[in-house]
Amino acid sequence: MRLRTVLASLAAVVMGGALLAPPAASAAATTATIEDSAQGTGVGQVEFSSGWSKCTTNCGLASDNSFRWTSTAGSKLTIRYTGQQITLYGVKEPWATIATAQIDGNAATDVDFYAATSSDETVEVFRSATLPQGTHTLVLTMTDRRNPASAGGSSITFDSAVVTGDDTPVVPAETVVEDTATGTTDGKAEFSSGWSKCTTNCALASDNSFRWTSTAGASVKVRFTGTQITVFGLKEPWSNIATAKIDSNAATDVDYYAATATTETVDVYTSPVLTQGSHTLTLTMTDRRNPASGGGSSITFDSALVVGNGGATEPPAGRDHRSGLPWSDGGWFSHNGSQAKAFGDWRGAPVDNIEAFTDRANWDKQLNSWWGDLSLTGSGFQKATDDFILAVPLWTDDGDEGTDDQWTTLARKIASFDPDGYVRLGWEMNCCFSYARDRDEWRRQYSRAVDLIRAAAPGLKIVFNPNEGVSNNDTIADPRTLFVDGKADVIAIDAYDWWEPYTSDYNVRGVDGDGDGVGHFNKAYGWDFWYDFAQSKGLPFALAEYGVISANVASNHSGADNPTYLTYVYNWLSAKNTAKPGSIEFVSYFNDTDAKGWKSSVYPTTTNPKAAARYKAIITSLKN
């Protein structure tokens, strides 16, 4: 059942009126790297024109052993990115040429790739100005010009780009600037002389107030932060033409004439869509008029509606979760529905989701639907509100990719338990048991499985679900290249309290001597990376598996019974969801009660009593 809900703001996780251990990290700039190998036309990718070649003998100059070069004047590369600033890295050489860098069609800047001695690694060659947070496009073009000292050849190079931006995602929102909100700051209207307040007809405005002027040259300025502005006023038989000007751009005529006066204030002008940021609208009355206008002179200003990151708005449609939390919150309960019910009773909030895993030994076992029967029976699971989440491999352990009929049957069986459930397809593809060792083959099989699942059970949602951190076990080095546009509904990660444990701010959001993030949240392929990746794809984020780990503490570098881990986790989730309500899709605790397993359970409370107490307190504090 889809319901409209207003999600409560969650500024911090509270226990007994005090913050739970370390406070959430303050907002900081996010950093994302775009490698030359990330090719495409989407956000966070590089589009090369003809004329570019991959490095050969000197690839070791780049940290990832890959960069591109061209000796063809006019060769271009285009990078679409979301952030505030972009820095390009390449090789500087004695024979290099000058390029130009242009952002969003603005004036181009020369980039000189010359150096008297070739750099022994890729270095910074260009850094943009700081721009408004938003999506931008950079075009780098090789010219036939060169530094006077350059000789012996022609080339420019591209290794990577580093994008920095605001940690808070841009949240589409609406805010109203009324004529009564006067001033010279953001969200205010600044009136010149010549304007008067309405008198007898004030009720035509919803707030019983608007301004009017009959003085040619009278103006009003509205400073706003957003992507678009709409002005509301009265249209009348005697009105004049005004001009609307955004920033220093050309003015546009705004005709206030109507054969019959409007009975309320109406839309008189809407700007084009702008780059997210600070802008100024100037509305000025002229002495010109529509040929049909007569009997007087006037224009009016009632209010302006700003769209963008300029104010609060009601969050998008979502669901009411039985837990009372702002996202679907549940977990894995050893394929035992009764345990899921007991877990919800203990924490004082029903579980919203129950995770399960197929038997991945072979397709005959995978199609045995015990994974749904055992996981849901006795749990109190409700199809209308709760989520069944099933992890499904792309290949079974015997290397079988499955027939079309087998995938169709599997999809229908999942839907029989929950028609709008989630499928973690090929989960943890950058780790462990994954077959993700050939990018093209993995993407082919992933796309095939998605298409078959969606055809058989259109309501099921596909989860793209890597592990937190860099790839291992010889899997694809850059797991984001496994993502296929249009073939996922959620992006999730699995992230446990290990390597290194969440016991210090450094382990969580530390920075090394080179300024690179090394903590769980800010490192390469960490929490921030995947959340931002999801945002760039217009998808919600989920925490598909997480938990403390008390097994093999020394070898796992885990935190054992570590309540601080849970504080960091929920502070991060709450901060993201507060910044953009609805951006967290689901959260699933891995409540492993097997004595030979991970020992991650918080219920029963005997294995990790400190973590259990912290977890229960957090859930209690987050409930609506």
**pLDDT tens per residue, range 123-173:** 999 999 888 777 889 999 999 999 999 998 999 999 999 998 865 444 446
How confident is the model over 391-420, as a mean pLDDT?
94
Query: Looking at residue 26, what DSSP letter applies?
Result: P
**pLDDT-based confidence at residue 319 (cuts at 50, 70, 90):** low
| Residue 496 pLDDT exceeds 50 | yes
How confident is the model over 233-256, as a mean pLDDT?
94
- CA distances 507 to 412, 428, 432, Å, are 43, 22, 23
| Residue 24 pLDDT exceeds 80 | no
Q: What is the pLDDT of residue 273?
A: 79
| Residue 20 pLDDT exceeds 80 | no
**pLDDT-based confidence at residue 600 (cuts at 50, 70, 90):** very high
552-561 — which CB contacts under 8 Å span 24+ positions? 556/498, 556/499, 557/498, 557/499, 557/500, 557/501, 558/496, 558/497, 558/498, 558/499, 558/501, 559/497, 559/498, 559/501, 559/502, 559/503, 560/501, 560/608, 561/607, 561/608, 561/609, 561/610, 561/611
How confident is the model over 590-617, as a mean pLDDT?
94
Q: What is the pLDDT of residue 173?
A: 61
Structure tokens belonging to residue 53: 């070649």
Q: What is the pLDDT of residue 624?
A: 62
Q: For residue 63, how far is the Cα from the chain centroid?
A: 27
How confident is the model over 250-271, as a mean pLDDT?
92
**pLDDT-based confidence at residue 9 (cuts at 50, 70, 90):** very low
How confident is the model over 374-385, as a mean pLDDT?
92
Share of the chain above pLDDT 90, in %: 71
Q: How many CA atoms lie within 13 A of 623 on its CB side?
A: 16
**pLDDT-based confidence at residue 568 (cuts at 50, 70, 90):** very high
Q: What is the pLDDT of residue 584?
A: 96
| Per-residue model confidence as pLDDT tens digits over 84-130 | 899 999 999 999 999 999 998 888 899 999 999 999 889 999 999 88
How confident is the model over 178-193, as a mean pLDDT?
91
| Residue 252 pLDDT exceeds 90 | yes
Q: What is the pLDDT of residue 493?
A: 98
Query: Looking at residue 236, what DSSP letter applies?
Result: B
| Residue 250 pLDDT exceeds 50 | yes
DSSP string for residues in 508-519: HH-B-TTS-B-S
Q: What is the pLDDT of residue 7?
A: 24
Instruction: Name residues whose C-beta falls within 8 Å of residue 390's C-beta, 6 or more positions apart in sequence.
Output: 355, 356, 357, 358, 371, 372, 414, 421, 422, 423, 424
| Residue 497 pLDDT exceeds 60 | yes
- Across the chain, mean pLDDT equals 88
**pLDDT-based confidence at residue 25 (cuts at 50, 70, 90):** very low
How confident is the model over 234-245, as a mean pLDDT?
96
Average the pLDDT over each of 51-60, 386-395, 582-591 and give the range with the smallest value: 51-60
Burial 477-516 (b: 16+ CB within 10 A, else e): ebbbbbbeeebbbbbbbbbbbbebbbbeeebbbbeeeeee
| Residue 19 pLDDT exceeds 50 | no
